[in-house]
Amino acid sequence: MDTSISITRRRTLKVLSVMSATAIIPAAAQATAEPEMTPEERMFFHIAEFKKAAEELDPSISRWETVGHPSRNPDLACSIFVAAFRE
């Protein structure tokens, strides 16, 4: 019985495609990874996302008021205030 593995063109292409796919996926994930944000940047990013979602739920929102900054005014009772105003 012959136990040798025959190397065919099809098998070679299959192995090479699997090898290249496993090398490309981590590289693509690294390329799309966002740089690390500071807590302040994350806060403003999430406030912007909150505003966008609220406007999708209530299209009559015409103006936003965002007041405060937790690191600049640590003695305030309300460090962040976000209000939406309708037309």
Digit-coded pLDDT (tens) for 19-54: 666 666 666 666 666 689 888 889 889 999 999 999
Q: Which domain holds residue 80?
A: 39-86
CA–CA separation, 54 vs 48, rounded Å? 10
Structural contact between residues 70 and 80, judged by C-beta atoms closer than 8 angstroms = yes
- C-beta neighbour count of 59 within 10 angstroms: 9
In a domain, 21, yes or no: no
Give the closest residue to 79 by CA, choosing from 52, 49, 51, 39: 39
Please state the domain count of the chain: 1
The whole-number pLDDT of residue 9 equals: 72
In a domain, 78, yes or no: yes
In a domain, 10, yes or no: no
The whole-number pLDDT of residue 60 equals: 95
